[in-house]
Amino acid sequence: MAEKTVLAGGCFWCMESDFEKHPGVIDVVSGFTGGTAENPTYNGDHTGHYEAVEITYDPAKVSYQALLAYYWVNIDPFDARGQFCDKGHSYLSAIFVANDKERAIAEQSKQAVQAQFPDQKVVTPILDAKTFYPIKGNESYHQDYYKTNSVRYKFYRWNCGRDQRLKEIWGDKATH
């Protein structure tokens, strides 16, 4: 039976692109979570929300712990202002946990990252899951943007410095 998790790592286009490649991942949907406004939109009010992805995965093929290990090497866990070239609250990284078991696994994974980098502070919070609002309607072009607008997406990703910074932090562990 499939399970879901919600992760924020800056630009949801990049998170969607990265996680759809991972074995055992069934689907990745871009959206917003973590705020209080109902039905947030990209071009409208999404105050307090994070750009995030809802990942549907097969736990028989990939564990929650493995997804988190992959998550860490796809973000900058030290940036308290956002991710890469995108700054502001909606671009912050965060792990949204649905229960105590997920929280324990997430905390353990965060501690492991902190142990790898004792001279830097891991600022990515672990937060209680809230309602996830998929991007939809006239903003649905954000879903699968990396596929439907691949040239623009690649230009954005390169110019944002995402892969360069990931390589700087994670070396060969970076997935790109």
Q: What amino acid positions are annotated as catalytic residues?
A: 11
Measured in whole angstroms, the distance separating CA 39 from the mean position of its chain's CA atoms is 19
Query: What sign does the CA torsion over 126, 130, 131, 136 have?
Result: negative
- Is residue 108 within 8 A of residue 19, CB to CB? The reply is no
- Is residue 45 within 8 A of residue 37, CB to CB? The reply is yes
Instruction: Please state, in angstroms and rounded to a whole number, the distance separating the CA atoms of residues 46 and 168.
Output: 31
Residues with Cβ < 8 Å from 63, sequence gap 6 or more? none
Angle at 158 between CA 10 and CA 4, to 5 degrees: 35
Per-residue burial over 106-119, b = 16 or more CB atoms within 10 Å of its CB, e = otherwise: beebbeebeeeeee
Strand partners for 133? 32
Residue indicated by tokens 């891991």: 122
Residue indicated by tokens 């689907």: 27
